């Protein structure tokens, strides 16, 4: 039991190890593919829903400026720099679209884990993740279509239906179960973060294993573009929110929410809506990069707290 509960804290090490193993020997993970990837992400969203009740959204009513600031930065900084970095690093069209896709995704459950470990505002993190996730049903397909439509044909309606299927339905189901059967969910929702880490790791490692040759032959441009994207998200998320809100804990939370995307969703959207499998590669690498960055920020933020 104790080992199982330590899984979320070991997230960066777990996903890094799995990524390396996937590159060395892909068959370890590529069995987790196709429908399993979609179901895996749905399971993550269901787990998130099981931890939420309608009353959790009171945070929006109490501090609307915090949520609105984070929401605005989430869907402006990352998509715009995702589009820009594709040009700066001269990425092939399929990688450029994949970068735009992952940068247009909402925050994911991994950000909630990182916020918790960094002793930031967890309630705000969960609220932001939930709101950005629900809003992404419309905003993610819209952003991808407008930012990458001139690079490659994008099926906006297909993206919309995919997002609806893997996000809204599982989350609403989870909230409904948690509201109607709180005693039942109380005993299982404690395991949600651990299962989320396991499922995210399987999804990412599978995509990396399947795209081994593409990743190894793509050079460093894609890796540097993704590293730059997430670093910009973390840094601008922190300093812009600190400038606007004058609140250290809130700024750290927004920094993490902006810097960490729901890469698992990016993988599923790419798999379901694009013929070229390479479109999913940026999302897979993104999950690894932002997790490593997140672990670094945990160390920095916790160290800063200890000095206060």
Q: Is residue 153 part of a domain?
A: yes
Q: Is residue 11 part of a domain?
A: no
Angle between helix axes 263-273 and 281-307 (nearest 10 degrees) is 170
CATH code for the domain in which residue 287 is found: 1.20.1530.20
What is the tens place of the pLDDT at every residue in 153-210?
556 677 677 767 777 788 788 888 888 888 788 777 777 777 877 887 888 888 788 8
Distance CA 158, CA 305 (A): 45
Distance CA 204, CA 103 (A): 16
Helices (H) and strands (E) in the chain, counts: 18, 0
Percent of the chain, pLDDT > 90?
15
* Total tally of structural domains belonging to the chain: 1
Q: Is residue 23 part of a domain?
A: no
Q: Is residue 96 part of a domain?
A: yes
What is the tens place of the pLDDT at every residue in 18-76?
888 998 999 999 898 878 877 887 887 787 778 777 776 666 677 788 889 989 999 99
Q: Is residue 80 part of a domain?
A: yes
Distance CA 94, CA 87 (A): 12
- Quote the domain boundaries for residue 95: 31-307
Burial readout 35-50 (b: 16 or more C-beta within 10 A, e: otherwise) = eebbbbbbbbbbbbbb
Contact 242, 248 (CB under 8 A): yes
* CB-side neighbour CA atoms (13 Å) of 49: 23
Q: Is residue 133 part of a domain?
A: yes
Distance CA 30, CA 204 (A): 10
**99: which residues sit within 8 A by CB, 6+ positions away?**
82, 83, 85, 86, 91, 222, 225, 226, 229, 282
Q: Is residue 21 part of a domain?
A: no
Q: Is residue 112 part of a domain?
A: yes
**41: which residues sit within 8 A by CB, 6+ positions away?**
166, 199, 203, 264, 265, 267, 268
Q: What is the pTM of this model?
A: 0.77
Q: Length of the chain, please?
A: 308
Distance CA 50, CA 33 (A): 25
């Amino acid at each position: 039991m104790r080992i199982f509960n330590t899984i979320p804290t070991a997230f960066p090490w777990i996903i890094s190890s799995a990524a390396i193993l996937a590159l060395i020997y892909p068959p370890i993970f590529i069995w987790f593919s196709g429908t399993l990837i979609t179901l895996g992400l749905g399971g993550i969203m269901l787990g998130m829903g099981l931890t939420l009740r309608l009353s959790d959204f009171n945070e929006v009513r109490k501090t609307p400026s915090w949520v609105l600031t984070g929401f605005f930065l989430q869907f402006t900084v990352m998509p715009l720099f995702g589009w820009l970095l594709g040009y700066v690093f001269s990425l092939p069209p399929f990688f450029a679209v994949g970068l735009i896709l992952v940068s247009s995704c909402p925050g994911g459950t991994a950000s909630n884990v990182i916020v918790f470990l960094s002793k930031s505002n967890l309630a705000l993190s969960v609220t932001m993740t939930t709101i950005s996730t629900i809003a992404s049903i419309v905003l993610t397909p819209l952003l991808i279509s407008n930012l990458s439509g001139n690079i490659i044909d994008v099926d906006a309606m297909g993206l919309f239906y995919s997002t609806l299927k893997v996000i809204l339905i599982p989350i609403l189901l989870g909230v409904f179960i948690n509201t109607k059967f709180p005693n039942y969910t109380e005993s299982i929702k404690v395991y949600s973060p651990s299962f989320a880490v396991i499922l995210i790791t399987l999804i990412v490692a599978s995509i990396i294993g399947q795209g081994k040759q593409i990743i190894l032959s793509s050079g460093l441009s894609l890796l540097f573009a993704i590293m730059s994207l997430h670093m910009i998200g973390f840094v601008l998320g922190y300093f812009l929110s600190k400038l606007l809100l004058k609140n250290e804990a809130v700024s750290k939370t927004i920094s993490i929410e902006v810097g960490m995307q729901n890469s698992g969703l990016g993988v599923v959207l790419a798999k379901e809506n694009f013929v070229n499998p390479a479109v999913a590669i940026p999302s897979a690498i993104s999950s690894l990069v932002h997790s490593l960055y997140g672990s670094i920020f945990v160390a920095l933020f916790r160290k800063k707290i200890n000095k206060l």
